[in-house]
Amino acid sequence: DKMLNPIRRAPFYALELSPSMLNTQGGPRRNEHARIVRPDGTPIGRLYSAGELGSIYSYLYQGTGNIGECLVFGRIAGRNAAAEKAWT
């Protein structure tokens, strides 16, 4: 497909997705900039999250709350990721 480009340089992050359940809770912790953080609170470079990954709800599901969280943290993550300097 002419719209797809290969990703050739590491680091790579991958996650298998499958439509097998309504949603999940928990996951990695993220900060207000949508960055995934280590247990000590320091961010992992170039790793962002949105939606249920690192949810602000933790293990407590709020019905339909995921939609707002996906939109808000998707925008935050996208803006911050786009502001990153290019890898050399």
Listed by start position, the domains of the chain span 35-82
| Residue 55 contacts residue 62 (beta carbons within 8 Å) | no
pLDDT tens, position by position, 61-70: 666 667 778 8
SS3 (DSSP) at 75: helix
State the pTM of this model: 0.59
pLDDT tens, position by position, 13-65: 888 877 665 665 667 888 999 999 999 999 999 999 887 776 666 666 666 66
| Residue 69 contacts residue 55 (beta carbons within 8 Å) | yes
Which residue in this structure is represented by tokens 């912790």? 29
